[in-house]
Amino acid sequence: MTMGEQARGRAPRVYSGLPRWLFVPAALGATLVVLPLFALTTRLDWTRFFELITSDSSMAALRLSLETSVASTVICIVLGVPLALVLAREQFPGQALVRTLVLLPLVLPPVVGGIALLYTFGRRGLLAPVMDLFGIQIAFSTAAVVIAQSFVALPFLVVSLEGTLRTVGRRYELVAATLGARPSTVLGRITLPLVLPGLVSAAVLSFARALGEFGATLTFAGSLQGVTRTLPLEIYLQRVTDPDAAIALSLVLIAVAVAVTLVTARISDRAIG
Amino acid sequence: MRKLCTAAAALTALALSLAGCASTPAATGTSTAGGGTTLTVFAAASMKPTFTALGTAFESTHAGVKVTFNFAGSQTLAEQIINGAAADAFASANEANMKTVTDAGLAATGAQVYATNQLTIAVPPDNPAGITSWNDLTKKGLKLVVCAPVVPCGAATEKIEQATGTTLTPVSEEQAVTDVMAKVQAGEADAGLVYQTDVIAAGETVKGIEFAESSKAINTNVIAALKDGPQAKLGQEFVDLVLSAEGQQVLKAAGFGAAD
C-alpha cells in the first residue's frame, strides 16, 4: 500500500537521488513564499499588537471568520465527499465535463464567483422565485458568507479527495462486496476509513481556503461588522486607515492557518501510523 | 589615402542614412514608445471617465506625449507615491490622502481644489422601496448599503447623519463607492449612498435621488503636480488643464461641483 510505503520512507534519512542544482530553484521558490511573510512581520508594531488584535472589530471579524469557515467546511464535507466518490468511482456520460465545471471555482477569480452567486441566490437571481416562496433572504446575511466560502472551497475538497480515492484503489471494496457487504456497508466500513487521512487533509485545505475567502464574500455578502465582515474583509478595510492593524490581523490569519495545518498534519500522521 | 577617407566617409553616410531609414517607420508607428514621452497621472478611481477624456485632450495638444493613468483608491495611490512610484501628478478624492503626500514633501506646488462632489441616493430604476428623501432611508426593513466610515464616502455619510441627527442602519458598509453601486445595480440593495458623479456615470442602470441634506458633507477633490516625477513639468501642465475652463467643463458635465 502507498500509505505504508510513505510511513516507512519517512523514518531513516535515505539518499534522495536529487541533482544538486535542483536545490537552487527550490530555495528560490521557498524564498518567494516566505520572504513577503517575513517582510510583513518587520513592519509590525509589536507594542500595539495585542491592542490591535483585541479591538472590538478585530475580535468580531475573527469570530465570524472561524464560525463561517467551520460551517462551510462542514458543507464541503457533506456535499464534497459524495461528489468526489461519484466522480472517482462512477462512470457516466459527460463525466469529464462535470468534473471540469465543478472544479471551475479553482481557477475562477473570486469576484466572478461572487457575481455568479449574486445572480443565483440574489434578490433578482435565478432562485429568487423559490426563495421568495419560503421567505428566505440570503444577501447581506452570514449565510451568504458561508455560501461564498463553500463555493470557492468545495473544489479543493473534491479534487484532493478524488485523488486519494483513486490512489487507494478499489481492491478492498470489491473483496467486501463479493463477501456480501451492501454498498452502504462498504462505504462506511472500507472506503471512508481507508481515505480518512486524505479526507482530513482535504477538509483542512477547504477550511484554509474558506478562511482566506475575500472576493466572493465582498461581492456577494457585503461587509458589516459581526454579520458579514470576515477577517480578510476587515484587513482590507483597516488597511485604509490603520495599516498597523491590517498587518497585525494578517499575522493572526496566518497564525490560525498555520496552526490548523500543523494540527491536522499531526492527526493524519497518527491515522496513517 | 585620400581615396580611403572618401570611401570611409561615404560608408559612414550610407550607414547613417540606413539607420535613419530604419528608424523612421518605427518612430512614426510607435511615436509614444520611441521618441515620445509618457506622462503618468495617479488619480482617484472616481476620476476615470473625466480624466481619461482630459488625457486625450492633453495628448492632442502635446505632440509625442502619451498620458497614462493609474486609477485606484486615493489611499492606495498616496501609499504608492510615498513608496517611490514614478508619478507626475496626483489627483486625490479627498484632502487627507493628499496631505500625506504634501507632508512628505513630494508635491511640486501646493495642492489645489479642482472639483467637489456630494452624496446622492442611488436606487434601482424601479425604486422598489419608493425612496424619495433622506428621511426615507431610516425606513424599517430597508436594504440600505453605504460606504464604511473609514473611506471618504462613508465619512461623508456619517457627517450627514450627525448633522441631521439621524441614524442609518445599513445592511452593509462597503469598502468602496463602486461596491455600493454594484449592489444597487444588481437590485440587491433598495438604496445606496453614492456620489452624484457615480449616478451620472451609471446611466440608466440606477436612478439618482438628490437630497438637500447632502450639502452638509461636501467632498473636495485636490490635485498637485509631483516634484520627483520623471515628467514633472508636463505634470504641472496637466494640473493646469484640469483647472482650466476646458477641464472644469468636462468635470461639470460629469456631475462634479465647481472648484471654488
pLDDT tens string A154-173: 999 999 999 999 999 899 99
Residue of A nearest to B124 (CA): A124
Tell me how far apart the alpha carbons of residues A60 and A57 are, in angstroms, rounded to a whole number: 5
From the list B151, B171, B188, the residue facing A118 with the nearest CB is: B188
A233 touches chain B (CB under 8 A): yes
Matching residue, cell 517575513: A38
> Per mean pLDDT, which range of A21-30, A258-267, B43-52 is the poorest?
A258-267
Q: Tell me if A113 sits within 8 A of A148, measured CB to CB.
A: yes
Identify all chain B residues contacting A123, using CB atoms and an 8 Å cutoff.
187-188
Identify all chain A residues contacting B78, using CB atoms and an 8 Å cutoff.
none
Mean pLDDT of B96-114: 92
pLDDT at A147: 96
From the list A118, A119, A241, the residue facing B150 with the nearest CB is: A241
pLDDT at A132: 83
Strand order in the sheet with B37-44: B65-72, B37-44, B89-92, B219-225, B112-117
Mean pLDDT of B242-253: 93
Q: What sign does the dihedral B168-B172-B173-B178 (CA atoms) show?
A: negative
Mean pLDDT of B49-76: 92
Question: Is the pLDDT score of A95 beyond 60?
Answer: yes
Would B199 be classed as within a structural domain?
A: yes
B229 & B106 share domain: yes
Question: Is the pLDDT score of B122 beyond 90?
Answer: yes
Would B76 be classed as within a structural domain?
A: yes
Q: Is B166 helix (H, G, I), strand (E, B) or coil?
A: coil
B74 & B158 share domain: no
From the list B73, B172, B175, the residue facing A140 with the nearest CB is: B172
Residue of B nearest to A233 (CA): B175
B112 & B224 share domain: yes
Tell me how far apart the alpha carbons of residues B18 and A268 are, in angstroms, rounded to a whole number: 71
B129 & B204 share domain: yes
Is beta strand B191-195 parallel, antiparallel or unpaired with respect to B144-147?
parallel
From the list A123, A218, A228, the residue facing B175 with the nearest CB is: A218
Would B16 be classed as within a structural domain?
A: no
Strand order in the sheet with B144-147: B172-174, B144-147, B191-195, B119-123, B207-209
Mean pLDDT of B88-98: 91
Number of other CB atoms surrounding residue A189 within 10 Å: 14
Mean pLDDT of B78-83: 91
What residues of chain B, 185 to 204, have a C-beta less than 8 Å from chain A? 186-188
B174 touches chain A (CB under 8 A): yes
pLDDT at B32: 40
Q: Check which CATH number belongs to the domain holding B126 and give it.
A: 3.40.190.10
- Tell if the CB–CB gap between B172 and A222 is shorter than 8 Å: yes
Residues 6 or more apart whose CB falls under 8 angstroms from that of B34 comprise B23, B26, B27
- Could you tell me where the DSSP H helices lie in A179-242? 183-186, 192-212, 215-220, 231-241
Q: Compare A139 and A10 and report the one with higher pLDDT.
A: A139
Beta bridge partners of B139: none
Tell me how far apart the alpha carbons of residues A61 and A64 are, in angstroms, rounded to a whole number: 5
Please report the ipTM that was assigned to this predicted complex.
Answer: 0.72
Pick the residue of B92, B146, B175 with the most A CBs within 10 A to test the interface with A by mutation. Answer: B175
Number of domains in chain B: 2
Number of other CB atoms surrounding residue B230 within 10 Å: 14
Question: Is the pLDDT score of A104 beyond 80?
Answer: yes
pLDDT at A128: 87
Give how far A209 is from chain B: nearest CA, Å.
22
From the list B171, B175, B187, the residue facing A140 with the nearest CB is: B171
Identify all chain B residues contacting A120, using CB atoms and an 8 Å cutoff.
none
pLDDT at B260: 62
Residue of A nearest to B152 (CA): A240
Per-residue pLDDT band for B181 (boundaries 50, 70, 90) equals: very high
Per-residue pLDDT band for B31 (boundaries 50, 70, 90) equals: very low
Q: Is A228 helix (H, G, I), strand (E, B) or coil?
A: coil
B132 & B143 share domain: yes
Kindly report, residue by residue over B201-214, the tens digit of the pLDDT: 888 999 999 999 99
What phi and psi values does residue B207 have, to the nearest 5 degrees? -115, 135
B78 & B53 share domain: yes
Q: Tell me if B116 sits within 8 A of B221, measured CB to CB.
A: yes
A218 touches chain B (CB under 8 A): yes
Per-residue pLDDT band for A259 (boundaries 50, 70, 90) equals: confident
Domain containing B68 equals 37-116+220-253
Identify all chain A residues contacting B151, using CB atoms and an 8 Å cutoff.
237, 240
Would B17 be classed as within a structural domain?
A: no
Tell me how far apart the alpha carbons of residues B231 and B87 are, in angstroms, rounded to a whole number: 8
Pick the residue of A57, A124, A234, A237 with the most B CBs within 10 A to test the interface with B by mutation. Answer: A237
A243: exposed, middle or buried (Cβ count in 10 Å: 0-12, 13-18, 19+): middle
Residue type for B177, please? V
Pick the residue of A240, A241, A242, A244 with the most B CBs within 10 A to test the interface with B by mutation. Answer: A240
Q: Tell me if B191 sits within 8 A of B121, measured CB to CB.
A: yes
Q: Please state, rounded to an integer, the average pLDDT across all residues of chain A.
A: 88
Q: Compare B45 and A223 and report the one with higher pLDDT.
A: A223
Residue type for A210, please? A
- Residue by residue, DSSP assigns B181-208 as HHHHHTTS-SEEEEEHHHHHHHGGGSEE
B127 & B207 share domain: yes
Question: Is the pLDDT score of B19 beyond 50?
Answer: no
Domains of chain A in start order, with CATH, are 33-272 (1.10.3720.10)
Tell me how far apart the alpha carbons of residues A52 and A242 are, in angstroms, rounded to a whole number: 10
The three cell numbers of residue B112 are 489645489
Question: Is the pLDDT score of A66 beyond 70?
Answer: yes
A131 touches chain B (CB under 8 A): no
Tell me how far apart the alpha carbons of residues A225 and A207 are, in angstroms, rounded to a whole number: 21
B124 & B160 share domain: yes
B180 & B226 share domain: no
Tell me how far apart the alpha carbons of residues A204 and A257 are, in angstroms, rounded to a whole number: 9
